[in-house]
Every structure is written in C-alpha cells, then in structure tokens.
Amino acid sequence: MRKITYSGQMIDIHKKYLTWLKIERNASPHTITSYERDLEDFFEFLSEYDAESVKDANRVTRFTIRAWMGALSEKGLTKSSIARKVSTLRSFFKFAFSRGYIKDNPAALVQLPKKEKILPKSLIADDVEAMFEALGNETIWDIQNRAILELFYATGIRLSELIGLNLKDVDFHQSQIRVMGKGAKERIIPFGNKAGDALKAWLDVRSEVIFQKTTKTDSGAVFLTKKGKRIYPVAVQRIVKECIERVSEASKTSPHVLRHSFATHLLNKGADIRIIKELMGHANLTATQVYTSTSVERLKNIYENSHPRGKL
C-alpha cells in the first residue's frame, strides 16, 4: 500500500471512514484494504485534477467523479473494475454526507457503468467427443474419470452436486440422478446410455477402493479418492483440466465448462430454454438466457464464414 504524502479534509474523512468500516460495519480486512486502495487511487487523481479538493471535500462534484471514471477507462480498466471503484466512492461520500462532513453527496447521482456481458465458455461438440475417445480404460481410476466426465456432460450438474452425489441418488431403472442444488433445492436429472454405462462400469469396481478406514458417510459417496474417501473439489478439477487439455486449447478447463457445454449443446439442438433451466437448477430464467447469447454468437460465426457476402 502506498503512503499518502498529502493532507487535508478529504484525508481526515478517509481515516474516519476506514475506522467506521472496521468498527461499526465489521468489514473484513480484505474489504477494508480494497476500499482503501480505491480511495487512494481517487485521491491521487484529485491531486492532479484539482488539488484543492483534497483540502476541501465540498469541491468534489459529480463531474469530478465522471472525469475520474474516464481516466480509469483510459488506463484500460474494465467496466466491472470501474464499477467496483465507483461503488467504493459512493459508500465513502454517503458516509461523509451522513456525518455532516460535506454539504452534498457528489456520488449520489453517478451511474455505474454497465458490466460487460461475459458469455459462458463451452467446448465444441467435436472436442467433447475427442475428450471421451482419448480417455483410457487401463486402471480403476480411468474408469472413474470416464464416469465423472460422462455425468458432468450428460446432466450439467455443478461440481458441488457431483461431489455430494450418493449411491442412493442414482436410479438406473429410471436413468436419472437426484441432486441437492443451491438453496437446498432438490431436482431430478435424466442421463443417457453413455453416462449410464460409464457409471455402471465404475460401480462394478468401486468396492475395490472401500477400506476399513472409509467412514460410513464416505462409503455412500459415488466417487472416491485413492484413500477411499469422498472425492473433493480440487481432485475433480484436476481430472477435468487434464482431460480437456488433451484435446482442446480452450482457455477455461474447469468442470463448469462441461456444465456450460451441456446447456449450449442442448440449446443448439433445439431444446426449450425452460427445460434447460429446470435441468440446470437455475432459480430464474435470466440465468439460463445467457446461453441464448452463446448460441446467437455461434450462428453469427457460421453466417460470417459461410455466406459469400456475410462479413459482419
């Protein structure tokens, strides 16, 4: 943290604000450090833009803050980063105004920049097929890895849902699993023959890694570690990362990529977005609709690359 070498009313308010965050708001050390850094960035801007406003906080206006936002943008900061810094400033000036340190709140009417829409990353269908073809079957762990990947892609479940999956949650007769999602909401998800076969193959050999030290709770888990314990997030992330990297140069290689691929590929094949919402366990349709943007981008790419006069 760089040391502020100048003084004035703004700096005095800054110190009182940080104390308020710590004592009255019980903010975490990480939050306090982040807010302090944002404010120091603003003060540094003020020292060049209007040094007198460091001494007299009432000189800061909505236009001063807008100028700072412009300067941040010129430095290459993303809209989300700028929005976070402006949120800090809003909190700071709201505190200063409520305590009577300033006559007006210059940040009250400042609009936050709209965050960029970050489209979910997914694999193309060919890469998914290549990933499964590249999987081995030599060891018991190869068999489990295949079952994990097949289930992720077949159901779109979250990492936490796969970790928490128990034997009693798998229904081979109905070809479906039961998972406990966010907000302790239970849902039933079907799976296809490929995932079913991979799960059966794993369960046929799973008993080989059940040991005396395996607890009763762990013994009910579908997926296990080499020590006979319930598999944990980092282990699954490592498996997925290694398998995706064999066949794809995708920048994202987390289990969530397979969840996104599940939804995107269903949508591309004409599945109703409301059905996808239920399968994924989204609380509202807005969360699912981001996949329509992914699908539209794919259509644009096909159009641009295929139509003689289709350059967009």
SS3 helix, strand, coil % of the chain, rounded to 5? 60, 5, 35
Q: Is the pLDDT of residue 38 over 60?
A: yes
Take residue 276 and report the two structure tokens written for it.
């996808």
The structure tokens 């989204």 sit at 282
- List the chain domain ranges: 9-98, 125-306
Distance CA 13, CA 287 (A): 40
Measure Cα distances from 90 to 8, 28, 79, 241 in Å.
Answer: 20, 19, 16, 40
Residue 3 — very low, low, confident or very high, per pLDDT cuts 50/70/90? Answer: very low
Burial 3-13 (b: 16+ CB within 10 A, else e): ebeeebbbbeb
Q: Indicate whether 127 pLDDT > 70.
A: yes
Nearest to 262 by CA among 199, 197, 190: 190
pLDDT at position 35? 93
Sheet strands side by side (includes 170-171): 170-171, 176-180, 186-190
Residue 297 has pLDDT above 70, yes or no: no
What residues are labeled active site? 158, 182, 256, 259, 282, 291
pLDDT digits (tens, 9 = 90+) for 169-182: 999 999 999 999 88
Can you tell me the distance from the alpha carbon of 10 to that of 34, in angstroms, rounded to the nearest whole number?
A: 18
Neighbour count for residue 119 (Cβ, 10 Å): 14
The answer to whether 202 and 143 have CB atoms below 8 angstroms apart is: yes
- Vertex 229: Cα angle to 197 and 214 (nearest 5): 110
177: enclosing H helix or E strand: strand 176-180
Q: What are phi and psi of 178, to 5 degrees?
A: -115, 125
CA contacts within 13 A on the Cβ side of 252: 15
- 192 and 265 Cβ atoms separated by less than 8 Å: no
Contacts of 205 (CB under 8 A, 6+ apart): 140, 143
Distance, in Å, from the CA atom of 191 to the CA atom of 55, rounded to the nearest integer, reads 66
The string of pLDDT tens digits covering residues 85-106 is 999 999 999 999 999 999 999 9
Give the residue-averaged pLDDT of 284-300: 68
* Residues 174-223 pLDDT 10s: 999 999 988 788 999 999 999 999 999 999 999 999 988 888 889 999 99
Q: Look up the CATH number of domain 9-98.
A: 1.10.150
How far from chain centre, in Å, is Cα 191?
A: 25
Q: What residues contact residue 23 under an 8 Å CB cut-off, 6+ apart?
A: none
User: Does the structure show a pLDDT above 50 at 80?
Assistant: yes
- Higher pLDDT: 150 or 115? It is 150
Helical H runs in the chain? Answer: 9-23, 29-49, 52-55, 62-74, 79-98, 125-134, 140-155, 159-163, 193-205, 216-219, 233-245, 255-268, 273-280, 285-306
What are the b/e assignments for 84-104, b being 16+ CB within 10 Å? bbbebbbbbbebbbeeebbee
284 Cα distance to chain centroid: 17
User: How would you write 255-284 as a 3-class SS string?
Assistant: HHHHHHHHHHHHHHCCCCHHHHHHHHCCCC
| CATH number belonging to domain 125-306 | 1.10.443.10
Phi first, then psi: what are they for 170, rounded to 5°? Answer: -100, 125
d(CA 66, CA 293): 31
